[in-house]
Amino acid sequence: MYRFETPTRELSIDPTGRDSLWSRVKYKQGDAVIKYLDGSFKQVPVWDPDEANVDKVYLGGHVHTISDAEAAPLIAAGYGEFLTVIA
């Protein structure tokens, strides 16, 4: 068993950088990781539920408990650093 925490990106409350105070405030947003029927993966900030050929969606900002069988393709796709062995 593994714990999968999706990748995050750091964002600013003021993305324009015009406000000297608010442009310093940062927060993390979790990206969704999508597994397609062909075995490929894609990382996106927002998942479109109408997207075709989707096998599995790991929503951003969530912790997912997955099996060894689910972890193997994620590791092969380069997401190993976001996996933690829990059992």
**pLDDT tens series, the chain, 87 aa:** 999 999 999 888 776 767 778 777 888 899 999 999 999 999 999 999 999 999 999 999 999 999 999 999 999 999 999 999 998
Q: Cα separations (Å) of 37 from 29, 42, 51, 52, 59?
A: 26, 12, 12, 9, 17
- Residue 77's identity, in one-letter code, is A
Question: pLDDT at position 87, please?
Answer: 80
SS3 82: helix
> Would you state the pLDDT for residue 15?
67
* pTM metric for this prediction: 0.83
